[in-house]
Amino acid sequence: MTRWIIFIIIYLILTVYGFQAIKTITKYSWVHYIFIAIAIIIVGNFIFQFASSSEGRVLSPSKSYAFGFLLSFMSLNLVLVPILLGEDIIRSALGLYDKLVTKESFYLPSRRKFVSQIALGLAAIPFSSLLYGMYKGKYNFRVLNYTLHFEDLPDAFDGYKITQISDIHSGSFDNKAKIEYAVDLINEQQSDVLLFTGDMVNNKASEMIPWKDTFKRLKAKDGKFSVLGNHDYGDYVDWPNKEDKAQNLEDLMTIQKEIGFDLLLNEHRYLQKDGQRIALVGVENWGKGGFKKAGDLKKASSKIQPEDFKILMSHDPSHWEAEVINDAYKYHLTLSGHTHGMQFGIEIPGWIKWSPVKWRYKHWAGIYEELDQYINVNRGFGYLGYPGRVGIWPEITVIELKKGIKEV
């Protein structure tokens, strides 16, 4: 109860400052009423949604949108507050100066219209960006192409193409046409193999049932392979008993099989071509920071040879730094996801790549190289929590393997 009171107090303070800016800019009372109505509707819906019971601790679509609209509205007011508060300090200082120095009565100058206009103009940037992220950004699918060179790549796999997707989070989807478009986009890449690096659902396996036929259409001539992510185990649901939780995982594994994925549970497969092979290793989720550590790299690789060319699928990129790159076996390429790039950031290829998630994950999006080994951290196919994406778009990764040394 206390946190709700604190939240409402903070919300009221921010809203009051936003209202002050609106009043300064326009004298039309209907604009004032609309602003107040929007503020009440947003906070009312948020309280209603989050006071209601939920099947899992991960947000349902309705709760996600309630959170998204609240975040957008508060971002508007959060930008306004420091600007208008700064103006209030200056206004108060001028009034005190008149009172103490000129001996006149205390007079507080009125707000300046141009200051409020500047404040609202700046505040409109994050506000409109967050709304755009909810409306279009979450389905703004991008195909990112990389070419990686390896001296010890088997000759038969020179030019071999891998498509990676990650973090489907089907429990968040609300537009079938957009998802079908993305599946078609994946198939258009005509890669040799399709690899999915975990988090098919948010809470329960049943979330994937409406989307099963859509994802069945995914194609790759050498097969479709997958691993589990932290959300796939049902750990974010308060199950009535262990049996129901175990059945949920069994149901998810069955769904993956029906879609056509070969799910690797701390095991490996060989991809074969012209009498040569590369080892595809898949571990269960292993993550730092309180996440499940079911992944067993030793078990997954126990039946492959040290000299094999190896591709590792591991959902959480923290596994790479903690265990993979210093392992006795060399894992030439690791494929991960999990971070979503926080679904928010700024990326201009060749210039800047930034997201707040970098403060938690050293490897959070794209290709990294250490100790002659690579990792690609996919930015995710779906979304979670905030129902949108701003600057960090949903990703389909295509990696081409090349024999030899990269030209500088």
Domains of the chain, by residue range, sit at 2-135, 141-403
What global pTM score does this model have? 0.92
Q: What are phi and psi of 380, to 5 degrees?
A: 100, 150
Q: Which of 332, 303, 320, 375 is nearest to 152 (CA)?
A: 332
Q: What is the pLDDT of residue 82?
A: 83
Distance between CA atoms of 380 and 355, rounded to whole angstroms? 14
3-class secondary structure per residue, the chain:
CHHHHHHHHHHHHHHHHHHHHHHHHCCCHHHHHHHHHHHHHHHHHHHHHHHCCCCECCCCHHHHHHHHHHHHHHHHHHHHHHHHHHHHHHHHHHHHHHHHCCCCCCCCCCCCHHHHHHHHHHHHHHHHHHHHHHHCHHHCCEEEEEEEEECCCCHHHCCEEEEEECCCCHHHCCCHHHHHHHHHHHHHCCCCEEEECCCCCCCCHHHHHHHHHHHHCCCCCCCEEECCCHHHHCCCECCCCHHHHHHHHHHHHHHHHHHCEEECCCEEEEEEECCEEEEEEECCCECCCCCCECCCHHHHCCCCCCCCCEEEECCCCHHHHHHHCCCCCCCCEEEECCCHHHHECEEECCCEEECHHHHCCCCCCEEEEECCEEEEECCCCCCCCCCCCECCCCEEEEEEEEECCCCC
Distance between CA atoms of 91 and 93, rounded to whole angstroms? 5
Question: Across-strand partners of 193?
Answer: 162
Half-sphere exposure of 34 (CA within 13 A, CB side): 8
Half-sphere exposure of 242 (CA within 13 A, CB side): 0
CATH number of 141-403: 3.60.21.10
Q: What is the pLDDT of residue 408?
A: 54
What do you get for the CA distance between the two ends of the chain, in Å? 60
The CA–CA distances, whole Å, from 320 to 42, 188, 285, 329, 363 equal 41, 30, 12, 13, 9
Please name the residues in contact with 68: beta carbons below 8 A apart, sequence gap of 6 or more: 130, 134, 386, 387, 388
Q: What is the pLDDT of residue 87?
A: 74
Distance between CA atoms of 220 and 224, rounded to whole angstroms? 6
pLDDT in 10s for each residue of the chain, 408 residues: 687 888 888 899 889 888 888 888 888 889 899 999 999 999 999 999 988 877 778 888 899 999 999 999 999 988 888 887 777 777 777 667 666 666 566 555 566 777 778 888 899 999 999 999 999 999 999 999 999 999 999 999 999 999 999 999 999 999 999 999 999 999 999 999 999 999 999 999 999 999 999 999 999 999 999 999 999 999 999 999 999 999 999 999 999 999 999 999 999 999 999 999 999 999 999 999 889 999 999 999 999 999 999 999 999 999 999 999 999 999 999 999 999 999 999 998 888 999 999 999 999 999 999 999 999 999 999 999 999 999 999 999 999 999 988 665
Strand order in the sheet with 276-282: 267-273, 276-282, 310-313, 333-336, 373-377, 366-370
Q: What is the pLDDT of residue 60?
A: 85
Q: What is the pLDDT of residue 379?
A: 98
Evaluated on CA atoms 264, 268, 269, 274, the torsion sign reads positive
